[in-house]
């Protein structure tokens, strides 16, 4: 097996720990393997890769896209460290509004699988952090939605007091007013 796949408290969210091969030359590991994803019931087709660079204290998110343009994501941190968050925005779900978070870093090499129907965001914990994620759907501006990163009802315990956010992210509504997954 290439990955140890473990469920989180919110059903559908998974942490993937890759099998890392280390020797005198350095390191090698696989970050995606279609057959293992398929066997684990995960998507084995991704159509868009995204890469971001953020400074310490930047909060990006919480973003998602409505059907039929939903996106499952496989997130990893290439350099630095992030606090990565997923929030269930599936109306009628038993875990609607619940969130889970992981620290992803270049050091721990963990990956976070986030299925469709979850808002995603992260906070850069290190001086800089580079994040790469694969998505099962292409970006569609008309389908893009979001939830305010500091929604008091969600109560996400962000590890930053005065975050740097984009204007767009700061204008997202709280979950109770957001257009969510049907």
Is residue 63 annotated as part of the catalytic site, yes or no? yes
Which position among 24, 63, 69, 132 bears the catalytic label?
63
- Catalytic member of 64, 113, 133, 181: 133
DSSP string, 15-73: EEEE--EEETTEEE--S--HHHHHHTT------EEEEEEEETTBEEEEEEE-TTS---E
Q: DSSP character for 181? A: B
Interatomic CA distance for residues 182 and 179, integer angstroms = 9
Active site residue 69: no
CA-CA distances (angstroms) from residue 58 to 29, 115, 171?
Answer: 28, 23, 16
- Cα–Cα distance between 175 and 88 in angstroms, integer? 10
Catalytic residues: 63, 133
């Amino acid at each position: 097996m290439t990955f140890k796949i473990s469920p989180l408290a919110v059903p559908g969210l998974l942490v993937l720990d890759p099998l890392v091969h280390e020797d005198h030359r350095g390191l090698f590991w696989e970050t995606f393997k279609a057959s293992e994803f398929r066997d684990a019931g995960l998507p084995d087709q991704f159509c868009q890769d995204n890469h971001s660079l953020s400074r310490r204290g930047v909060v990006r998110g919480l973003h998602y896209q409505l059907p039929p343009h939903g996106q499952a994501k496989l997130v990893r941190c290439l350099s630095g460290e992030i606090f990565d968050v997923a929030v269930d925005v599936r109306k009628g779900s038993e875990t609607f509004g619940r969130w889970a978070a992981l620290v992803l870093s270049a050091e721990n090499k963990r990956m976070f699988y986030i299925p469709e129907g979850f808002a995603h965001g992260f906070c850069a914990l290190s001086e800089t952090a580079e994040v790469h994620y694969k998505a099962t759907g292409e970006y569609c501006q008309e389908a893009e939605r979001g939830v305010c990163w500091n929604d008091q009802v969600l109560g996400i315990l962000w590890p930053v007091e005065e975050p740097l956010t984009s204007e767009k992210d700061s204008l997202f509504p709280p979950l109770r007013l957001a257009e969510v997954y049907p």
